[in-house]
Chains A and B, each alone.
Chain A
Amino acid sequence: MPNSDHTRTNHTDTAKLVNENQCHMCMPLGGVVAFKGVEGSMALVHGSQGCSTYMRLTNVEHYHEPIDVASSSLNEKQTIYGGEQNLMKALDNVRRVYKPKVIGVLTTCLTETMGEDLNRIISTYKAEKGEIDTDIIPVSTPSYDKSHTEGFWTATRDIIVHYTRKDIAYHKRINVIIPHISTADIKAIRMILDTWGVEYTLLPDYSMTLDRPFAGKYMKIPDGGTPTSAISEMSGAPVTIQFGLTCEKNISPGHYLEENFGVPLINLPLPIGIGNTDMLMDTLKRITGKPMPKSLGYERGWLIDAMADSHKYNASARPVIYGEPELVYAYTSLCLENGSIPSVIATGSAHSRLIPALEKLLEESDCDEYPVILEGADFSMIEAAALEAGSNIAIGHSGGRLLEEKHDIRIVRAGFPIHDRVGGQRILSAGYGGTLSFLDRFTNTILEKKHSSYRELRKQELLSKIATVTETGFTAE
């Protein structure tokens, strides 16, 4: 059994102070994405103008969609005297222009430091306006300490807290709660659930709002997203499936539903990789009492077939895997079951349950080498670890591009944000089919590098060996 003690590093444990080349973003960003998965919803960031613009830009570059995020545009005066009037004006203007059903109000470092009391401001606003047909949901997202991952979970949880009630009649629709994944993966998960024929409420569902089919017009708030009526009934569901193995209890939406309404929680890893997808299938088998649909069985068969085709190439890979905890866990298990032993596994987030989950996974995998695991990491740490460990391929978002540029460690792009390629939202890895599509991309990246360099490398290696052989036939070594 591998001994992990010397391989674990937590940013906060070390003397390192400067964060160099960030691997994570700020809390309200994750909150913005979560709100884009609620029907008729608009996000409003309470802070200075720059914050919302940066979050828009990051989302726009990834999703290649127009994505509007409002700001209360605080300036110096409000920073001193309070931002209440600005927030109220912002609510007025957003309601006027966007006519949203829901406004998610997210705090920033600035307004958290100012101590803005969102609950009070919003109740004052409602009292002043009388009956309004907009639900206003405040979420506290102070960026110091936490990352966009926690922002996503916290906002999702607060959305549930806002809508769910105790007096909801028991019904058949299961709850499905997802972490921050690509819109293609949301669609893949939906496809699996539909194929099984289960009824479900998936939250947050930004598969249509952040990836619009062309329709000849621009919609200020695009159709799609989880209907609020469905969210309010999540407390009456028979069970919650949450893809949140790494989500801490205090911000876990599924945990909230279990604690407050007794909805049993099944916390699963993302269905990426064969084992993780099997877990979802087993769960659905239990829930529906039906055998796995044939079409999914075929997909599983194709995946195994493809794994055999690529296993030897994959064995030469020493991937560095980085990004949000839930994705990192899923890609690690996918690599392990394909014989690619990860060299470095890292997340910028410092507050997840990733490390114990990974340790369990690595122990069970019986791999011959043990990866370096970094929590609260930045890319200077990831880069150093990758070079030390001899990584030759990476899985992760665009933030790691210097690995590729400087060290020719090619990145199989996955996660968020992808801003140096098109189709970040279309990156598919979920389900058997998605796993297969990811695996082909991964293997082909290894092959592409091999084919483009092996002639030169072998030539150098072998000719230099010949050169060391002296005339008498003994090598100089």
Chain B
Amino acid sequence: MDNTCSLTADTDNLITERRNSIVTTGKNKSSICCTSDSLAGAVSQRACVFCGARVVLNPVTDAIHLVHGPIGCASYTYDIRGSLSSGSENYRKSFSTDMKEKDVIFGGEKKLAACIDELVEKYNPPAIFVYSTCVVGMIGDDIIAVCKNASQTYGIDVIPVESSGFVSGNKVVGYRAAGEALYKLITPKEGDVIEKTRKLNFLGEYNLGGEKWVVERYLREMGIEINVAMTGDSTVEALKKSPGSCLNLVQCTGSMHWLANKMQEDFGIPYIDVNFFGADNTAESLRKIAEFYDDPEITAHCEALIEREIGAVREVNAKYRKKLEGKRAAIYVGGAFKAFAIIRQLQDLGMEIVLTGTQTGKQEEYERMGRLLSEGTVIIDDANPAEIEKFLVEKKVDVMAGGVKERFLAYKLGVGFIDHNHDRKDGLIGFEGAIKFIREVYATTCSPVWKYMREEKGGM
């Protein structure tokens, strides 16, 4: 049985049906195949619709997140994110209706209603998100009706999140379900008056390792306040005030474009795309925001801030660029937004991106990605370990950026690894985050450990 990797292209180990999901910049005239369902047995790195919805909504700190289904779905997402809270810690609890066989046979609606009763009594939460899972979708529990009923009984928002996993292997569908749930939550009820403010909302920011607070500090220095982030460190009350904001920033575009568009249509709030990963991206984003406010004082503060902060990043960049220039990097992440941010930062360090890809990228995002990359870079949609392994070896990659599942594959091949996953504990945002990022890239790419691995390799 030959199951080891080899330095030659072992195409026998790749699945022919995946051919159109892998392209090389400059070579392929045809466009990449993406946004389709994962191929059975291909060992996709993707998760499911439920996962997408759960990661987007989870950071709402004071809401109860109730997973309606058998135990596994909740168990695997218990306290899944590194999102920080300035107040309530409710969001870190993992609630499940823990469906049993009889609930599957006779229907789980009664149990769901009883669980909601129990949670209201115990926690008196301002809102409950009820996530549907595969089995619930399959047996057809009417979670919308149960939620509506509970909302009326308790006078709080009990919001169904339609996230049955089997609907798609693509998390993006779950992002949409989360967006719809948020939209339901923030849409003013009859008679509600939302005060209009000069504050902005920060969409697609999850306060991983306190990242929202970094940007909040920058904006405050410029004279701008954040109304609420979606959803990092948010509360139900703050979210409900979001329609009064004058602007939406959209950071993680995959998860939040739908909601941003909806808020533009219905509440007249314009949005701009921002990206606070990397010094140049941060500076650009701050300038865009200042431009929107069109206030000389804000602009002056913005420029002063950038000037003060960017110098430190440039210094660190220059120091480590000497060590990192010419190193070869691979990127495989969940969404294109993250890929763009990492590509730019690694290129700033003089590194060459030789492989990149995402789980959920769209056609236009891949096209944009191609334009950022030099000729000969491999781009993979919905990659699997066999493909990642093949290209890490073939392209002689020095360091890879990605999530937990890719980390140990890289290590096994003696390749450094930069964590950019959603359970990260250290913030990588803004100018200080850029410095942390550069240091992490250096620490892993140039670690002495690879020397021993290479020696071991030679000896085998």
Interface residues in chain A, defined as those with a beta carbon under 8 Å from any beta carbon in chain B: 16-22, 24-26, 28-29, 40, 44, 47-58, 60-61, 64-66, 68-76, 78-79, 86-87, 89-94, 96-99, 101, 108-110, 113-114, 142-145, 147, 212, 214-221, 380, 399, 401-402
- Distance between Cα atoms of A336 and B414 in the complex (Å): 45
A85 CB to nearest B CB, Å: 8
Contacts of B409 in A (CB 8 A): 66, 218
Cα of A25 to Cα of B94 in the assembled complex, Å: 13
Shortest Cβ distance from residue B401 to the other chain A in the assembled complex, whole angstroms: 16
A368 nearest CB across to chain B (Å): 34
17 more A-B contacts (CB under 8 A) besides A20-B94, A109-B72? Answer: A17-B98, A17-B118, A18-B95, A18-B96, A22-B75, A49-B165, A50-B46, A53-B44, A57-B76, A97-B15, A144-B99, A144-B101, A214-B453, A216-B414, A216-B453, A217-B457, A217-B460
In the complex, B272 has a CB within 8 A of chain A: no
A351–B93 alpha-carbon span in the complex (Å): 25
Kindly provide the distance from the CB of B74 to the nearest chain A CB, expressed in whole angstroms.
Answer: 6
Closest to B139 in A: A113
B114 to chain A, nearest CB (A): 5
Query: Is B341 part of the binding interface, using a Cβ–Cβ cutoff of 8 Å?
Result: no
- Contact status of A18 and B41, CB under 8 A, knowing A48-B165, A49-B47, A109-B72: no
A residues near B114, Cβ cutoff 8 Å: 17
The contact string, 1 if C-beta is below 8 Å from chain A, for chain B 364-401, is 00000000000000000000111001000000000000
A50 touches B104 (CB 8 A): no
Closest to B44 in A: A49
B43's contact among A19, A28, A70, by CB below 8 Å, is which?
Answer: A70
Residue of A nearest to B15 (CB): A93
A22 nearest CB neighbor, chain B only: B75
Could you show 10 A-B contacts with beta carbons less than 8 Å apart?
A29-B72, A50-B47, A70-B41, A94-B41, A97-B14, A99-B1, A144-B135, A216-B456, A216-B458, A217-B413
B38 part of interface (Cβ distance < 8 Å): yes
CA distance A69 to B12 in the complex (A): 20
Interface size class of B (residues with CB under 8 A): 35 or more
Report how far A75 CA is from B375 CA in the complex, Å: 36
| Contact among B4, B38, B73, B97 with A18 in the assembled complex (CB-CB below 8 Å) | B97
Contact B46–A53 (Cβ < 8 Å): yes
Q: A18-B95, A18-B96, A50-B169 are in contact. Are A99 and B2 (CB under 8 A)?
A: yes
A75 touches B118 (CB 8 A): no
Kindly state the separation between the CA atoms of A217 and B46 in the bound complex, as whole angstroms: 24
Pick from A71, A75, A218, A402: contact of B389, CB under 8 Å: A218
A22 touches B74 (CB 8 A): yes
Given known contacts A21-B93, A50-B51, A93-B15, A109 and B166 CB-to-CB distance under 8 angstroms: no
Confirm or deny: B168 has a beta carbon within 8 angstroms of a beta carbon on chain A. Answer: yes
A221 to B69 Cα, complex, angstroms? 33
- Cross-interface CB contact of B166 among A22, A48, A64, cutoff 8 Å: A48
B169 touches A75 (CB 8 A): yes
Closest residue of chain A to B51 (Cβ to Cβ) is A50
Q: A217's contact among B4, B38, B137, B168, by CB below 8 Å, is which?
A: B4
Chain B proximity of A118: nearest CB distance (Å): 15
CB closest residue in chain B, given A95 = B41
Report chain A residues within 8 Å CB of B460.
215-217
Is B193 in the interface zone, CB < 8 Å from A? no
Residues of A within 8 A of B101 (CB): 142, 144-145
> A89 contacts which chain B residues (CB < 8 A)?
39-41
Tell whether, in the assembled complex, residue A216 and residue B457 are in contact, meaning their CB atoms are under 8 Å apart.
yes
Contact A74 B166 (CB under 8 A): yes
In the bound assembly, the distance between CA atoms of A50 and B97 in angstroms comes to 19
**Which chain A residue lies CB-closest to B42?**
A93
How far is it, in angstroms, between the C-alpha of A40 and the C-alpha of B1 when the chains are bound?
Answer: 9
Q: Which of B100, B118, B414, B456 contacts A144 (CB 8 A)?
A: B100
Q: Closest CB of chain B to A77's CB: distance in Å?
A: 9
Pick from A18, A64, A73: contact of B37, CB below 8 A: A73
- Min distance, Cβ B181 to any Cβ of chain A, angstroms: 18
A22 and B96 contacting across the interface, CB-CB below 8 Å: yes
Residues from chain B with Cβ under 8 Å of A144 in the complex: 70-71, 99-101, 103-104, 135
| CB of B359, distance to nearest CB on chain A (Å) | 10
Q: Which residues of B contact A380 (CB under 8 A)?
A: 93
Task: Tell yes or no: B408 within 8 A of A by CB.
Answer: yes
Confirm or deny: B412 has a beta carbon within 8 angstroms of a beta carbon on chain A. yes
Inter-chain contact B41/A60, CB cutoff 8 Å: no
Contacts of A61 in B (CB 8 A): 404
Q: Is the CB of A110 within 8 A of B41?
A: no
Least Cβ–Cβ distance between A33 and chain B, in angstroms: 14
Interchain CA distance A218-B5 in the complex, whole Å:
6
Q: Are B4 and A143 interface neighbours, CB within 8 A?
A: no
Residues of chain B lying within 8 A (CB to CB) of residue A50: 46-51, 73, 165, 169
Contacts of A25 in B (CB 8 A): 71-72, 75-76
Q: Specify the chain B residue showing the minimal Cβ separation from A18.
A: B115
Kindly list chain B residues whose C-beta atoms are within 8 Å of the C-beta of A401: 79
Residue contact A18 to B119, C-beta cutoff 8 Å:
yes
A453 → chain B closest CB, angstroms: 24
By Cβ-Cβ distance, the 10 closest A-B pairs, closest first, are: A50-B48, A90-B41, A26-B72, A216-B457, A93-B41, A49-B169, A90-B40, A54-B76, A19-B98, A22-B75
Measured CB to CB, the closest approach of chain B to A156, in angstroms, equals 20
Among A20, A79, A145, chain B packs the most CB atoms within 10 A around the CB of: A20
Closest approach, in angstroms, between the C-beta of B169 and any C-beta of chain A? 4
The answer to whether B74 and A110 have CB atoms under 8 Å apart is no
Tell me whether A110 and B135 are in contact in the complex, defined as CB-CB below 8 angstroms, given that A18-B118, A22-B75, A93-B15 are known contacts: yes
Cα of A22 to Cα of B405 in the assembled complex, Å = 22
B44–A71 touching, CB < 8 Å = yes
Indicate whether B444 reaches chain A with its CB closer than 8 angstroms: no
Least Cβ–Cβ distance between B32 and chain A, in angstroms: 19
Once the chains are docked, how many angstroms separate the CA of A52 from the CA of B134? 13
Known: A49-B38, A212-B412. A19 touches B139 (CB 8 A): no
Are B40's CB and A214's CB within 8 A? no
Quick one: closest A residue to B77, CB to CB? A54
Min CB distance, B221 to chain A, in Å? Answer: 32
Q: Which residue in chain A gives the minimum CB-CB distance to B52? A: A50
Contact yes or no, A114 B39, CB < 8 A: no
Q: Which of B446-460 contact A (CB under 8 A)?
A: 453, 456-458, 460
A111-B43 Cα distance, complex, nearest whole Å: 18
Interface centre among A22, A79, A86 (most CB of B within 10 A): A22
Q: Are A22 and B94 in contact (CB under 8 A)?
A: yes
Give B211 Cβ to nearest chain A Cβ, in Å.
20
